[in-house]
Amino acid sequence: QKEVEQDPGPLSVPEGAIVSLNCTYSNSAFQYFMWYRQYSRKGPELLMYTYSSGNKEDGRFTAQVDKSSKYISLFIRDSQPSDSATYLCAMSASSGYSTLTFGKGTMLLVSP
Which residues make up the interface to another protein (CB under 8 A)? 4, 34, 36, 41-46, 49, 88, 90, 95-97, 99-105
Listed as own residue / partner, the contacts of 45-54 with beta carbons closer than 8 Å and 24 or more positions apart are 47/74, 47/87, 48/74, 51/95
Angle at 57 between CA 52 and CA 2, to 5 degrees: 50
Smallest distance, Å, CB 64 to another protein?
Answer: 17
**Residue 95 or 111: which CB sits closer to another protein?**
95
**Residue 20 or 101: which CB sits closer to another protein?**
101
Smallest distance, Å, CB 42 to another protein?
Answer: 5
Smallest distance, Å, CB 6 to another protein?
Answer: 9
**Residue 17 or 104: which CB sits closer to another protein?**
104
User: Under 8 Å CB-to-CB from 72, ≥6 apart: which residues?
Assistant: 22, 23, 24, 25, 33, 50, 63, 64, 65, 66, 89, 91
**Residue 33 or 83: which CB sits closer to another protein?**
33
Please give the distance of CA 90 from its chain centroid, rounded to a whole number. Answer: 7
